[in-house]
Amino acid sequence: MDHWSAAEDRPTYIAAAPRHRNRALAAVVVALVVAATVWALYVRERGNAPEAPAAAPAPAEKPADAAPPADAAPRYEMQPRATEEPLPALENSDAMIGKSISGLVGKKAFERFVIPDMLVRHIVATVDNLPRPTGSTRTVPLHKAPGALAVTGSGDELRMDASNSRRYEPYVRVFASIDAHALAERYAAAYPLFQRAYEELGYPGRHFNDRLIAAIDDLLAAPELDAPARIVQSPVVYKFSDPDLEARSAGQKIMMRIGKENDVKVKAKLREIRREIVALTRH
């Protein structure tokens, strides 16, 4: 399993630009957006206003890696949703899902960002990994982003360069523009596919929607850094020099590296999405 630390990039300085696998924020965008919008062209909008959402619980300060025991009652049970057409089998869902995403974000964006294979399974695996201390980038369903992590300083003053935040701005703009209510409705309509993929991942009797809410809560608990964090260079990756930051979850490390302004925008949208999803559940 690959290690998600301060960067997935191999050590590089501002002047260098080696190949890398920078899919960090992309994981957030795909896992929490595509999962709920893949049926944009397939499922008709219900147009019903959701019930008033319950207040979100205070997020934990440490990674939310624990999962409830198998066969435990779901905390946020997704209510069944009526669809105009029956959902395809999970194994045959890529064509319809790909068409839906392409129709939503545009053909050029789809071709640029999305890896159109095993989409539901890869989204589910990505969500499951976010609250863990480490996670694999192999299942992130996006092509790698351009550019490389830039650092500045040296020795004890080695830091991520503030310019890195610009690399994530295109993703953040897309994420912040999403209609959270429509996203939640579409995710709910497609939910049986995600639940099946989650059980196939090795969680029979457990509930993907609970894991999704836990992943969102963990992202919301990420520290908001006023300045780029100090890092240390290992032979393969950069790591946070602060042991508390380095001990955070894979998802929280993503939030800490995208820059404060981006972090604030992403968290605001995550809170909207959480409210809308919870409003569609029995809890």
8 Å CB contact between 203 and 67: yes
**18 in a structural domain:** no
Its domain, for residue 132, covers 24-46+75-282
**173 in a structural domain:** yes
How far is C-alpha 96 from the chain's CA centre?
Answer: 21
**245 in a structural domain:** yes
Distance separating the N- and C-terminal Cα atoms of the chain:
34
Six-digit token string for 262: 């981006």
Q: Which tens digits make up the pLDDT trace of 74-94?
A: 899 998 777 778 889 999 988
**110 in a structural domain:** yes
**13 in a structural domain:** no
**108 in a structural domain:** yes
pLDDT band with cut points at 50, 70 and 90 for residue 2: very low
Total domains in the chain come to: 1
Output b/e per residue, 81-113; b: 16+ Cβ within 10 A.
beeeeebeebeebbebbbbbbbebbeeeebeeb
**14 in a structural domain:** no
Rounded distance, CA 197 to CA 184, Å? Answer: 18
Which residues, at least 6 apart from 33, have a Cβ–Cβ distance to it below 8 Å? 174, 175, 178, 183
**12 in a structural domain:** no
| Residue located via tokens 């820059």 | 259
What pLDDT does 100 receive? 67
Among 121-130, 148-157, 270-279, the range scoring the smallest mean pLDDT is: 148-157
